């Protein structure tokens, strides 16, 4: 039975592979046997993730790429194909938020800057669509493969303050369903597209909302989140790996067009 979870020799491209969550997914998929192409803009962080994978006996390469730059993505695709010969799985892990696109007592809705909101929407939505166009074409040509998008609990249950991020991740959910149908109808029934919706993890993008910068203590928002998370803790990056392996392996071969919460029960709890 465990063989359906096997990723041995599968070639995985993961965007945002140098971030807190993306790097853990890169390491986790490599431990499951995949050959991982770690895409990111920061060369030092990219090389560190690749080194960690290789030190554990895994196989990985690092590729510099900005998910909002088509030329970068084309160069990245060519580099991956030259090294591994194919792509089997795309994980769209690039995304994030901006403090300047988040309402607060100091920054009301009416003062949010268009440029900051536009950047958040583009990073999360177009930063998912553009890599899918580039690497999804490889899957379409070979008529098989898997795409896994990283959404957010903010997409399923809009959160206060993070207006641009919530809307952009909701668009990612819609895109996930659209792509699942499109690939099946136009290219192959053997191409699947799903998403994971992480709950609350301490990342570079949300740490300023959940913990105090100076003391490290929980903010009122952070405390409220834990009170509404039945498991009573923030997620750890490794909590995403098992779900990711399920969704990109043959263990979920009849699952497509769905968004799977990984949230410690947050979406199941009404607060009472």
Give 19-37 pLDDT, tens digit per residue. 999 999 999 999 999 999 9
**Which of these is catalytic: 165, 200, 201, 234?**
165
User: Alpha helix locations (H) across 61-152?
Assistant: 70-84, 114-121, 127-142
Helix pair 114-121, 163-186: axis angle to 10 deg: 30
Mean pLDDT value across residues 85-107: 94
Q: How far apart are the first and last CA of the chain?
A: 40
Letter string b/e over residues 97-133, b meaning 16 or more CB atoms within 10 A of that residue's CB: bbebbbbeeebeeeebeeebbebbbbbbbebbbbbbe
Q: Which domains does the chain have, with CATH numbers?
A: 2-263 (3.40.50.720)
* pTM over 0.85, yes/no: yes
State how far Cα 185 lies from the chain centre. 25
The pLDDT of residue 132: 98
- For the stretch 132-145, pLDDT in tens is 999 999 999 999 99
What mean pLDDT, rounded, does the chain reach? 94
Q: Which residues contact 89 (CB under 8 A, 6 or more apart)?
A: 7, 10, 11, 12, 13, 29, 34, 145, 146, 147, 148, 248
CB 45 within 8 A of CB 18: yes
CA–CA gap between residue 142 and residue 148 (Å, rounded): 18
The 3-state secondary structure of 220-257, one letter per residue: HHHHHHHHCCCCCCCECHHHHHHHHHHHHCHHHCCCCC
pLDDT at 62 exceeding the cut of 90: yes
Find, among 59, 26, 58, the residue nearest to 148 by Cα: 26
pLDDT digits (tens, 9 = 90+) for 211-252: 777 787 888 888 888 899 999 999 999 999 999 999 999 999
Q: Annotated catalytic, 165?
A: yes
- What residues contact 226, with CB distance under 8 A and at least 6 apart? 218, 232, 233, 234
* Confidence at 170, pLDDT banded by 50, 70, 90: very high
């Amino acid at each position: 039975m465990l063989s359906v979870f096997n990723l041995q020799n599968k070639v995985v491209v993961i965007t945002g592979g140098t971030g807190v969550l993306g790097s853990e997914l890169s390491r986790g998929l490599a431990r499951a046997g995949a050959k991982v192409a770690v895409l990111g803009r920061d060369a030092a962080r990219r090389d560190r993730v690749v080194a960690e994978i290789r030190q554990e006996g895994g196989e990985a390469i690092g590729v510099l790429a900005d998910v909002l730059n088509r030329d970068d993505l084309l160069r990245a695709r060519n580099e991956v194909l030259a090294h591994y010969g194919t792509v089997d799985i795309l994980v769209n892990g690039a995304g994030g938020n901006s403090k300047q696109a988040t309402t607060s007592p100091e920054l009301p809705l009416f003062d949010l800057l268009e440029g900051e909101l536009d950047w958040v929407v583009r990073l999360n939505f177009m930063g998912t669509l553009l890599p899918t166009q580039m690497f999804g074409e490889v899957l379409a040509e070979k008529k098989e493969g898997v795409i896994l998008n990283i959404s957010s609990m903010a997409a399923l249950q809009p959160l206060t303050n993070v207006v641009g991020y919530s809307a952009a991740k909701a668009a990612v959910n819609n895109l996930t369903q659209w792509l699942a149908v499109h690939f099946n109808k136009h290219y192959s029934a053997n191409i699947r597209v799903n998403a994971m919706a992480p709950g609350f993890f301490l990342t570079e993008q949300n740490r300023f909302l959940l913990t105090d910068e100076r003391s490290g203590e929980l903010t009122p928002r952070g405390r409220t989140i834990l009170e509404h998370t039945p498991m009573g803790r923030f997620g750890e990056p490794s909590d995403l790996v098992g779900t990711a392996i399920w969704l990109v392996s043959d263990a979920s071969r009849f699952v497509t067009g769905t968004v799977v919460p990984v949230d410690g029960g947050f979406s199941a709890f009404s607060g009472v």
